[in-house]
Structure 1
């Protein structure tokens, strides 16, 4: 099977975040299903989509966002035919697992899947870079007895065996367990082999009981392990008489013609979308991920591990910061000059004026090197230098010595010390100082005009740009800010994490925006006042990555304000609500990643989601880290929500600007 590359990227659908690695698992499962489908067509064996797969096919023509596997079902007679030929027909890497062929099997449902985990290139290419194991489940449909009392008796016996299996798991072969085993042997007229594992033997007994009433042509069917233990998955026989084909993720999938009866038997009101429940064991690929980690012995790990160093913040000083501080330094020098004038310390004043002039010239040269000629601040500095020169000359005239020089200097200094502050000489000194009074303020104003705060936006795709577009527009309109939009390259990954093909979407951005080529922008030289990212994964997304030079841990080296704005919004998540269990689990794919911890501010969609983020961080890194992160996360809203639910884009823009001005 083939898929568009966009199929594999993380997305939010129905308010639920779907990680890219689960998309790969979906493609892997669809490839296995295509093999099952090939065999069934070859031997004319009917099968039907079941469970979440059937529901997704009927409702959306694709996987349910919070489903992570494929389920199909077969009538017992059709399943028996499939079981006889499955293993010889399947590709070498796939295996058929069932009670019939595997003595150690403990599952009541059969399955087809790949059991090997690892980075064998041929298998990765065939199974869409999915490196783990996993299977398509095949549920078997049996007949029910017409007499409800008989059926209830069967269900009681099945539940008794299930309780025995649970007791073995908890207590092993205790006296009570052995006594119960003996009772089951009498009822079933069988003998267990206690030298081998009991659970697989008990599962086969259950499967035998499932088939007890087959062939009696009853009008009710059921998947017995669900019907006996949960009371659902009971269907009218007519519901599975015929099938029809429906689109599902690029293939045609057989579903019961009366799918309504099947779905009502399984879900009740199946039109209502329910995300709750089923969190235990979700996503199922996690157990295989842990197996692969063990196999690789520490040489491969797809998960980010928090370090306190990630919260360490280097202090960055860019040219604008230096320029503004220079203006402040000129203010301080002027203040000291004025104090020296008040003291009548002419020689110190002359020395200070000389230094101030040298500093102003050097500063002007640096500005021209950075910004070129013709800036307002250089013009002010030229005027300032001229005024400093005039002041220097004026003070020099005041201290002109007579022919003997030294004697006259002593007399002049004596006059300055002894004369009242309102004397002519003192007034002249104050006049000289006052002529320079307004230049430092004027310079500071000019510097802020010439050196606006530079905000750099680093979207990697046009699709993700929408989450920051209103902020970009606000910065473009601001007179005190300079906006740089720098689309950055990204690449897909192979299953082992190595880079695949590179993509660049800079040419796809709207023409009304001026785009800066990432190859021409020097972060080390520019040191922007703020960098905005909307990808937080760094290397810890198994499907794709921005180029490593744009990872958050790198970007924070070049700015004092690194801001992360998620490219998506989800439904609100309550960490303590069962219905949000899967959604909270999946937060690890976008919360426990480097960008959040390296950033100085993360703007999330609401205050409630901020609480969910902090709950996930506490689960991941501990309460102390969550407390530190509380100040770095703002629940201001999302640009993607617009005015929805009262928050609005303006809140996000205001939050962004307020942080920028701190």
Structure 2
């Protein structure tokens, strides 16, 4: 595969798929995402890593041989060792994309990584980006989910889940405090509450402080008892990022030899969607056609898709995306406001 992903001009024409109009504007956004994916897969090929189509991308590959017509993003996953290698060697990717994660930014607080063509972190209108990404003016990215090994021992699985859930709860309690009180607090680090800020903030109700600090103490005690680690928050370090890194470490407590299944661990914490996958699925894979390229996915797609989308996954249903369509709506409004478009 090449960094120069060849896409014929005919691809960009307006097209009706399953009664849904896919505009030229969306086609150029699709192509930009495909190019980011192509660069990522070339890096994986070079370094003997595997990157699998995930969620709607796998469903689209199987059912539509490309994007679901009313969807606008790409999701992939990697087993944890490959995911960690990618993060550690992200500077070896082509210079027109970068990887964002909890390890690259204190502001990032999702446990998947983002491969994006937004190089500066801030939204800017760039003719150079348009020239390289098929005339698409918008910043695009694709989500990369790490899959961790779930211990087969029921006791270990229960222990890990309970500790992870508590750490995850404390993370989002911290985010709530930041969202509500950040503009009222003199922070010692940019845009992040530190333990020192929290202790000294007069505007945060004492009951909120007590609840958070009690949770942190409970978490530290449980970690020391069951994991053999004492967890000490730096008073001047961003609480959010420290909790993010703790959650990520807890997800990696067990390795492949101790597991029969894998999972994206935040979904274990929230219990809101099916999260486990059989480890063996990722040992037997196929390349699926995807628009003008191919993506790697599990061969046993029926069981995987049934788990995630139910037994009628093969029937197209509009309006199933979990984010606003199109993703670039706010970008377009901003570019129009500043007169760039």
Q: Above 0.5 in TM-score?
A: yes
- Do residues 292 (structure 1) and 298 (structure 2) align? no
Q: 1:217, 1:224 → 2: CA distance?
A: 16
Question: Partner residue of 1:212?
Answer: 253
- Do residues 239 (structure 1) and 245 (structure 2) align? no
Q: 2:254, 2:207 → 1: CA distance?
A: 31
Q: 1:278, 1:169 → 2: CA distance?
A: 28
Question: Partner residue of 1:371?
Answer: none
Q: 2:246, 2:164 → 1: CA distance?
A: 13
Change in Cα spacing, 1:205 to 1:251, as seen in structure 2 (3 Å) is same
Q: 1:155, 1:15 → 2: CA distance?
A: 44
Question: Partner residue of 2:326?
Answer: 283
Q: 1:158, 1:100 → 2: CA distance?
A: 17
Aligned with 2:162: secondary structure? helix
- Do residues 258 (structure 1) and 264 (structure 2) align? no
Q: 1:70, 1:36 → 2: CA distance?
A: 12
Structure 1 position 280, deviation (Å): 4.1
- Per-residue Cα deviation, 1:612-636 (whole angstroms, up to 9, x for no partner): xxxxxxxxxxxxxxxxxxxxxxxxx
Asked if 1 retains the 8 angstrom alpha-carbon contact of 2:168 and 2:247, the reply is: no
Structure 1 position 90, deviation (Å): 1.9
* Length-normalised TM-score, structure 1: 0.42
Asked if 2 retains the 8 angstrom alpha-carbon contact of 1:132 and 1:292, the reply is: no
Question: Partner residue of 1:83?
Answer: 87
Structure 1 position 2, deviation (Å): 2.3
Change in Cα spacing, 1:12 to 1:180, as seen in structure 2 (3 Å) is farther
Asked if 2 retains the 8 angstrom alpha-carbon contact of 1:233 and 1:262, the reply is: no
Question: Partner residue of 2:35?
Answer: 31
- Per-residue Cα deviation, 1:396-422 (whole angstroms, up to 9, x for no partner): xxxxxxxxxxxxxxxxxxxxxxxxxxx
Asked if 2 retains the 8 angstrom alpha-carbon contact of 1:110 and 1:139, the reply is: yes
Structure 1 position 120, deviation (Å): 4.0
- Per-residue Cα deviation, 1:91-144 (whole angstroms, up to 9, x for no partner): 223111112233332221101111155554443222001112121111000011
Question: Partner residue of 1:108?
Answer: 111
Pair member with larger Rg? 1
Asked if 1 retains the 8 angstrom alpha-carbon contact of 2:160 and 2:250, the reply is: no
- Do residues 168 (structure 1) and 174 (structure 2) align? no
Structure 1 position 23, deviation (Å): 1.3
Structure 1 position 241, deviation (Å): 1.5
Structure 1 position 200, deviation (Å): 2.9
Question: Partner residue of 1:133?
Answer: 139
Q: 1:9, 1:199 → 2: CA distance?
A: 44
Change in Cα spacing, 1:177 to 1:284, as seen in structure 2 (3 Å) is farther
Q: 1:216, 1:181 → 2: CA distance?
A: 36
Q: 1:91, 1:45 → 2: CA distance?
A: 16
Change in Cα spacing, 1:191 to 1:149, as seen in structure 2 (3 Å) is closer
- 1:79-478 counterparts in 2 under 5 A? 79-87=83-91, 89-115=92-118, 118=124, 120-146=126-152, 147=154, 149-150=158-159, 152-154=161-163, 156-161=165-170, 163-165=172-174, 167-172=176-181, 174=204, 175-186=206-217, 187-188=219-220, 189-193=230-234, 195=236, 197-229=238-270, 230-269=272-311, 270-278=313-321, 280-293=323-336, 297=338, 299-301=339-341
Structure 1 position 194, deviation (Å): 5.1
Asked if 1 retains the 8 angstrom alpha-carbon contact of 2:54 and 2:75, the reply is: yes
Aligned with 1:17: secondary structure? strand
RMSD value, Cα: 2.5
* Length-normalised TM-score, structure 2: 0.78
Q: 1:4, 1:282 → 2: CA distance?
A: 25
Runs (5+) with no aligned partner, structure 1:
302-662
Aligned with 2:244: secondary structure? helix
Structure 1 position 71, deviation (Å): 0.8
Change in Cα spacing, 1:7 to 1:234, as seen in structure 2 (3 Å) is same
Question: Partner residue of 1:67?
Answer: 71
Change in Cα spacing, 1:104 to 1:224, as seen in structure 2 (3 Å) is same
Aligned with 1:144: secondary structure? strand
Aligned with 2:286: secondary structure? strand
Asked if 1 retains the 8 angstrom alpha-carbon contact of 2:98 and 2:115, the reply is: yes
- Per-residue Cα deviation, 1:194-248 (whole angstroms, up to 9, x for no partner): 5454333332222222222334521111111223212413111111113221111
Greater relative CO (CA pairs within 8 A, separation 6+): 2
Runs (5+) with no aligned partner, structure 2:
182-197, 199-203, 221-229
Task: From 2, 6, 9, give the equivalent of 1:5.
Answer: 9
- 1:44-59 counterparts in 2 under 5 A? 44-59=48-63
Structure 1 position 60, deviation (Å): 1.5
Asked if 1 retains the 8 angstrom alpha-carbon contact of 2:127 and 2:137, the reply is: no
Structure 1 position 257, deviation (Å): 2.2
Question: Partner residue of 1:16?
Answer: 20
- Per-residue Cα deviation, 1:17-40 (whole angstroms, up to 9, x for no partner): 323222111100001111001111
Q: 2:85, 2:322 → 1: CA distance?
A: 34
